[in-house]
Amino acid sequence: MPEKTVPPGNGGRLRTVVAAVVALAIAGGAQFAMERADNSWLLLVAAMVMAAVSIWSLAYRESIAWLLDYLYGLPGRMPRRAKVTAAGGVLLVLAASSAALYESAREAVCPQALEMRILTSPEGLQATREVAHEYARFTARGHDGCPAVYPYVYAAGTLATTGALTRQWADSKEQKPLEELGPRPDVWLPDSMLDVREVQEIAVKATLPSPLRTVTSIATSPIVLAGTAVPQTEGDATLSAVVAGLLDRSGAALSAADPEASTAGLLAADVYLHDASGEAVEAAVARRRAQIVADSTVAGTDEVSVLCAYLREGKAPPAVLTSLRTWRRFVSGRALGGAGCSSPRTPPEDLPAPVVLDSAPALDHPLVQFTWTGPGQRAAVEAFQAWLRGEDADAVLREAGLGEPDPACAGLNGNACVPRDPAETLDRYEQAKRPGRVLLAVDSSGSMAQPAGSRRTTRFAVAAQGVAAAAAQMGTRDEFGLWTFPIPDGRKTFELVGPAEGSARHRETVVGALRAVKPDGGTPLYATIQAGMRELGKVRGEGQIRAFVVLTDGENTGAKPGLKQTAAEVERIARDGVRLYVIATGEAECGDDGPLYQLTRAGRGGCLTAGAAEVPDTMTQLFKTLWSGE
């Protein structure tokens, strides 16, 4: 029947060719789907479609030819206005299809961008990533959407960073920066000139050449008093005066980061350990204020984890000393970073404005270039610096919670943003902290014998290094005991070394005892936690911090006790002042609403996630917050 509709001559041959082209086009579409699909079922369907359509097209080429003849003659039967409309529609479809194809293929068209390695602080990681991402987008404008640089942003704590930078990222006996921290940076964005000053001082003491080429302040973020119970300010009051009035109230509460682990925490301590006139408070006053801060800070060593703990509870702090950068991110629901707050969260509503005073100390956010940077990387860093200090970055920095740079805070010395004597503030804080009675339980199950990441040592060996680092932070008034779990054959209790004051001999005993432990068996995590909390609950030392710290790489393997029963017991004992902390490594996680998070929340402590290489540093930072170090 279709053959009667075809025109004479070469039309039949043309129709055959067109039918074959149609079949090839359909087969090509199926082939494209096969190449792009990741799902095996989709691959199978695409292959079947390609085969079926190809066979159908060849078998029914006469019908397809009849349809083509009909469509060919359709324009002649259409009104002129309809023809114009149809032609315009076809052109729009072709233009949209071309644009979509170009966008999807643009990544393959763009040349390889230059990688710019940016080192920053853990507290500034999230904001720095956002700023660097916007800069990459800025460089793509006017260049067919192809960015000029690929920013790689990573973070490391001040203690690890300053030593590695001073040695120009070379290995030492204690540290392998390339393996433990990341690649040697092209640019450094610390929180404060205090960090830069530390590198300079270490280089001078070690008679090493300074790695610093240039230092430029790119933003500021003052320390503010924020929360639901912040007082109103009057006149020219200093932040120390406002905080002093707050702490003198009955039932006062004030959260802040640990000054030994956080620059923002150090600036906050400088505020609450000084009076309205800027003089250091007496020892008794310092001790009382430090205890208020310790009792009010639910969990965390830096300002991100302090505020994250409140977000995870769905509430705001009564009062907290933190940087304006991090507080703005808190109230706007932006990602803070750290365990549990790496994605946006819904913030509490109707929070009062923070107390922002010009006289308050501030993070001055320097940008540091290095002497080792080559010409190509140096040009990229300088272009990044010029953008940060130009008008194009103003809105981006404000969105990230950063204010304009202050000329008075641009120098290493005579910097108006930092304390006059940070070492004196740290000393006073050390003396003011309460002595600690800490019990540490180290997981010695069979999984701890596995390799620690890419390193040639085991997880348990890395944990032993962390115990040694933590023991080195003990003060003479502090007490420390060591457990391992499960209980091995030949031992009746979890206890490996009984609690004792932090003498040099006791520290050696703790470190030496772990060498005889061989990882084996399951993980009776819940039973260990209950036993440890009860053990600490038996002893009541006046003004003493009591904490049970557990290091584990896995989940509980015992049938009893269960999670609900353990959490209830932990919460009961925590009311008497015993806190629970967990350092999770390996397969263990501190995720939202997970078992470890639920237990540490009940124990008014915190859950810290640490990679294999991070265990010693994480333990050091945690124990510094628990012990006086005097």
pLDDT in tens, 79-120: 777 666 766 776 776 677 666 656 655 555 788 889 999 999
Distance CA 187, CA 236 (A): 39
With a CB cutoff of 8 Å and minimum separation 6, the contacts of 352 are 227, 228, 230
Query: What whole-number percentage of the chain has pLDDT above 90?
Result: 36
- Give the mean model confidence (pLDDT) for residues 349-360: 89
* β-bridge mates for residue 120, sequence order: 155, 189
The pLDDT value given to residue 454: 66
Which stretch of 100-104, 309-313, 378-382, 475-479 has the lowest confidence by average pLDDT?
100-104
Around Cβ 251, how many Cβ atoms within 10 Å? 7
Residue 432, token pair as written in the block: 């003011």
Lowest mean pLDDT among 13-17, 187-191, 260-264, 621-625: 13-17
Report which of 561, 552, 559 is spatially closest to residue 596, judged by C-alpha positions: 552
pLDDT per residue as tens digits for the range 257-305:
989 888 999 999 999 999 888 888 888 788 888 888 988 887 767 899 8
Are 330 and 401 within 8 A, CB to CB?
Answer: no
Q: Measure the CA–CA gap between 312 and 289, rounded to whole angstroms.
A: 26
What percentage of the chain reaches a pLDDT higher than 70? Answer: 81
How much is the pLDDT for 253? 92
Most confident of the following: 106-120, 478-492, 531-545: 478-492
HEC letters along 323-345: EHHHHHHHHHCCCCCCCCCCCCC
Q: Which residues contact 182 (CB under 8 A, 6 or more apart)?
A: 117, 119, 154, 156
Q: Does the pLDDT value for residue 627 go beyond 70?
A: no
Question: What does the buried/exposed string (b/e) look like for 389-406 if buried means 16 or more CB atoms within 10 Å of the residue's CB?
Answer: beeebeebbebbbbbebb
What average pLDDT does this structure show over 139-153? 89
Tell me the mean pLDDT in the region 587-602: 88
C-alpha to C-alpha distance for 265 and 256, rounded to whole angstroms: 6
Residue 629 — pLDDT band, cuts 50, 70, 90?
very low
Please name which of 30, 44, 419, 47 lies closest in space to residue 197, comparing C-alpha atoms. 419
More confident residue, 155 or 5: 155
Would strands 149-155 and 606-609 be described as parallel, antiparallel, or unpaired?
A: unpaired
| CA pair distance 191, 263, nearest whole angstrom | 7
Structure-block tokens of residue 234: 């009057």
**How crowded is residue 465: how many other Cβ atoms within 10 Å of its Cβ?**
19
Residue pLDDT, tens place only, 405-427: 988 888 888 888 888 888 899 88
What is the model's pLDDT at position 277?
84
Q: Mention every residue, 6+ apart, whose C-beta is less than 8 A from residue 209.
A: 203, 371
Say how far apart CA 143 and CA 539 lie, in whole Å.
68
According to the model, what pLDDT value does residue 559 have?
72
How much is the mean pLDDT over the chain?
Answer: 83
| Structure tokens, 486 | 């499960």
pLDDT at 260: 84
Q: Amino acid identity, residue 72?
A: Y
Tell me the pTM: 0.63
Whether residue 630 has pLDDT greater than 50: no
Calculate the CA 25 to chain-centre distance.
49
pLDDT for residue 525 is more than 90: yes
Q: Write down the pLDDT at residue 6.
A: 45
Q: Is 555 exposed, middle or buried (0-12, 13-18, 19+ CB in 10 A)?
A: middle
| Calpha distance 405→310 (Å, rounded) | 30
Q: Across the strands, what pairs with 579?
A: 547
Range scoring the smallest mean pLDDT among 43-57, 295-309, 501-515, 579-593:
43-57
Report the residue count for the chain.
Answer: 630
327 — pLDDT class (breaks 50, 70, 90): very high
| Confidence (pLDDT) at 273 | 94
Q: How far apart are CA 406 and CA 362, in angstroms?
A: 10
Q: For 239-261, what is each residue's pLDDT tens digit?
A: 999 999 999 888 889 999 989 88
Query: Burial, 461: exposed, middle or buried (Cβ in 10 Å; 0-12, 13-18, 19+)?
Result: middle
The H-or-E segment that residue 217 falls in is strand 212-217
d(CA 574, CA 552): 21
The token pair that represents 225 in the structure block: 């008093």
Q: Phi and psi of 234, rounded to 5°?
A: -135, 140
pLDDT at 58 exceeding the cut of 70: no
Model confidence band, residue 160 (pLDDT cutoffs 50, 70, 90): confident
- Span 459-479, mean pLDDT? 81
Residue 252 pairs in a beta bridge with none
Please tell me the distance from the alpha carbon of residue 147 to that of residue 3, in angstroms, as a whole number: 58
Comparing 532 with 623, the larger pLDDT belongs to 532
Label residue 320 by pLDDT band (50, 70, 90): very high
Per-residue pLDDT, 9: 46
At 88 the three-state DSSP class reads helix
Q: How many CB atoms lie within 10 A of CB 579?
A: 24
Answer whether residue 152 shows pLDDT above 90.
yes
- On whether the CB atoms of residues 580 and 529 are closer than 8 A, the answer is yes
